[in-house]
Structure 1
Amino acid sequence: MSEIRFDLITGKMVIIAVERAKRPHDFVIAHQEKKGSKNCPFCPGNEAMTPPALIEIKDKKGKWLVRGFPNKFGALNREEKEIEVPALYKAEYGYGVAEVIVESPYHDVTFGGLSVEQIKMVFHAIVERYKAIAEDKKIKYIQVFKNFGPRGGASLEHGHWQIIGTPFVPDLVNKEIEGTQDYIKKERKCPYCEIVQYEKEAGVRLIGENEYFLAIAPYASQYPYESWIIPKIHQEKFEDLDEKHLSGLAEILKPLIEKYEKEFDMPPYNIVLHTLPPEDLRNYHWHLEIAPRLTIAAGFELGTGVYINPVAPELAASVLKIDVLQPARKEVV
């Protein structure tokens, strides 16, 4: 059972997800010895350990290469129940969707070790499930993300993505979209399109590019070695990706994740999609944000919401430089 509770002072929303306390953990503390694939619910042969598949992309022999299913321990679910709320407070039942996309049948292959074609299949599965979830009119926002490593929030070693649909648009998302509208109203231009043009010309925060995407270290990076991948053309919604842009996204994301894995020895990180809510008609420009978890938010960050980043994004970009056309090592499917 989950509840969406609202802070009395700020109105900030919090999901109280008691079911997640019951989930199994491969990672309990950082640097724990790897648990391995023997009892991994995401490995081939263990499909009965997960809910039935919602999507499977298979090879010519019928073996799955990418597999998606409901999250057995999701923070939200589609049940609808009445809950008791104390008179002082506001809350509602945690209606929503939580799904998992397993990115490969191989337990120990990292995301950077996947082939471009395999990464493309992962995004095909994500787009398909995204569109299916968006058909539920009670779902107002769909968050796609990947956690890697214990400090990145991953509770299982086997590489996977998550998709969570919520019955509300999160405050951070609204603030970002409203900021985009304010900029467009003032400057008559999309701020993300402006960033793409400026950073491409300036070069000092440019990490790499291909025909369709630009990878940069954002000017006001919150995290050391943070990066963004932005479509070069103005594209409001992630789910509108066509085949050529899916290929372009896989081709630029693979070497960038490889670079993180190599330079920082498999660091914990998060990849987070920022996109327009399904039925939102406002102007926006979707993108991916990648945050390696190399530092821990401490008292100042928690008390103010202002992050102290000890690494200038200009230095980060010089370290993270990638050649999109030349993968760093042999690819593994």
Structure 2
Amino acid sequence: MTAAIDQGVSLKAYNTFGVDVRAAHFAEVTDDAALLAALGYAKAHELPVYLLGGGSNLLLLEDLPGLVIRMASRGRRLLQAQGSRVLVEAEAGEPWHPFVGWTLDQGLGGLENLSLIPGTVGAAPMQNVGAYGVEVKDVFAGLTALDRQSGELQDFTLEQCRFGYRDSVFKREPGRWVILRVRFWLDREAPLQLEYGPVRQRLAEQGITEPGPRDVSEAICQIRREKLPDPTTLGNAGSFFKNPLVPAAKAAALSERWPGLVAYPQADGQAKLAAGWLIEQAGWKGYRRGDAAVHQHQALVLVNHGTATGAQLLALARDIQADIRARFGVELEMEANLLPAA
């Protein structure tokens, strides 16, 4: 099989920041065979390879001289059941939120707290995406990935993925693995996770006293739409920075100086600080520099008002990092991936 390779393709429509850079070579692959053909083309022409999913956790910095491969495989299936638990598999190119909706249609709980997260199924374990007290690792059953070094397929267990906070082995070894399919253990009787954020409050306001997974999903969708800008109308990549982890003693010292500090104790003795609170206290919320800006309602989100370049958005992010370091002695790590790496 040969891959359909296009030349000089704008990537503006393939990243939620809406940054307009071009790929020298571009292929959209819908199955394993097309992926292997595209990788073969890149090898034959000695081209670097860049992988794209939904482009939702990505900042493109400049034109890409190699081959951009967009994962567009589709397919979702129920594999087996063990009592109330059901093993579900989806292809990497499946859009994440519609996939979550499909699992709810099957009467399965577990992913409802991750509703309305942009991106694809294949990108979810890469970042170990999480929201409202749930992370992908909590319902993860396994995945199949292509090892570009050996050319072989490998199945990964939960332990082999080495999941961390917005982290995984796939993120730590960039360029090596191409995630093809992901599996999840979901449950028809899954207990609901309602303690994180305003989810329970929103359900109570709606008079829902005995919620199901669908109710939780709809409540979270409402909350996310209120808090986060829609990338189809205002370019953004969601939360641009991770919530920093610091020793509990440092968090206590910061709380003495800034009594309103938002910090969440962690099981390992650290504390997770709310990056958005730090950025807002430093005066960056709503700041605009040309078309690169910090969202006026959510300080954790950088936005593109139209024509900002990746370099301009990155410069703004680095200025914020430097200011938070100087004010609080805290390092902010970018959650968004930079392409090419800077």
Give the shorter-chain TM-score range: under 0.3
Bigger strand share: 2
Using structure 2 for the length normalisation, give the TM-score: 0.24
Using structure 1 for the length normalisation, give the TM-score: 0.25
